[in-house]
Amino acid sequence: MFAKEDNTRHDGLKDLVDAYELDLITDALKITFGNQKRAAKLLGTSKRVISYKVHKNGIDLARFRLTRPRISKYGKGL
């Protein structure tokens, strides 16, 4: 352990691993448009683990979801 400049202590390796894990999860969620089950499959883990990490890190899944313009029955956007 070592002290940061603001006098808080942290484990450098743990912080790095946590940041890398978060990057991997967010990248997988981007690829799968927020689908946790598919993201888990990409990462070789379970949906339950991904769900836990999403909740723990406060990840907003809505930002990964694909939004499509609504098309009326007449073929024009609403």
- Sequence spans of domains, the chain: 2-64
| Cβ-contact 48, 66 below 8 angstroms | no
Q: How far apart are CA 1 and CA 25, in angstroms?
A: 26
**Whether domain 2-64 has CATH 1.10.10:** yes
pLDDT digits (tens, 9 = 90+) for 18-77: 999 999 999 999 999 999 999 999 999 999 999 999 999 999 999 999 876 667 677 665
Which pTM was predicted? 0.70
